[in-house]
Amino acid sequence: MNSKTQRLRVPGPAGEIECALDVPAEGTPRGLAVLCHPHPQHGGTMDNKVVQTLARACVQMGWRSVRFNFRGVGASAGAWDEGRGEIEDALAVVAAMRQGDEPLLLGGFSFGGFVASHVAQRVQPAPQRLVLVGPATSRFDVATVPADTLVVHGEQDEVVPLSATLDWARPQSLPVVVVPGGGHFFHGQLPLLKSIVLRHLAH
């Protein structure tokens, strides 16, 4: 993300997991943010621009931010496991990077939103924050999430229809923040996406 980004590797169930850590410039961090990237078989990596935007917002609000590559992506060992192993990868990153019971923020974009939703159900202590951007509700079984979860979706998402995320959110009475005219990758709208996340994290 920038020259101060630390590249590191942590142990995972399929071998080493490649991570990138960004920390706030000053003050004691509010906690750890673990951010999950889009579909590995469709070019998703931890350097995806939406994931980097989430990381910048988290760091700006005082969170240590970890992005990582799922198994088989970049320098991470292993191979695509249809979502099952990728959830285990994310749990391994949380276990390796979380300091005791420090506050945890989970975030994910697209396929990463599916992963983050399931990690949120399994990790203890439970995450304080959950941020899902364009979650892959039409393609994967995204888990039920806490009522204070931030869900952001583009109005004209060409990969995951907005209607699919509304259908997923409706039984949960879960609000969805819709970005007018927004596509799946929020081209030209990343500053707006960042500001939405910043506003959410400020509360």
The whole-number pLDDT of residue 60 equals 97
Please, are residues 63 and 14 in contact by the beta-carbon 8 Å criterion?
Answer: no
| Structure tokens belonging to residue 61 | 């609000």
Angle at 17 between CA 14 and CA 21, to 5 degrees: 160
The whole-number pLDDT of residue 1 equals 64
The whole-number pLDDT of residue 11 equals 98
Q: What is the pLDDT of residues 40-88, one digit of tens each?
A: 999 999 999 999 999 999 999 999 999 999 999 999 999 999 999 999 9
In the chain, the domains with their CATH numbers are: 6-201 (3.40.50.1820)
The whole-number pLDDT of residue 203 equals 83
Q: Exposed (0-12), middle (13-18) or buried (19+): which is 134, by Cβ within 10 Å?
A: buried
The whole-number pLDDT of residue 3 equals 80
The whole-number pLDDT of residue 164 equals 98
* Spatial separation of the C-alpha atoms in residues 9 and 164, rounded to whole Å: 35
The whole-number pLDDT of residue 163 equals 98
Please, are residues 67 and 90 in contact by the beta-carbon 8 Å criterion?
Answer: no
* Nearest of 95, 18, 28, 19 to residue 63 by alpha carbon: 28
Half-sphere exposure of 16 (CA within 13 A, CB side): 7
The whole-number pLDDT of residue 178 equals 98
Tens of pLDDT along the chain (203 residues)? 678 999 999 999 999 999 999 999 999 999 999 999 999 999 999 999 999 999 999 999 999 999 999 999 999 999 999 999 999 999 999 999 999 999 999 999 999 999 999 999 999 999 999 999 999 999 999 999 999 999 999 999 999 999 999 999 999 999 999 999 999 999 999 999 999 999 999 98
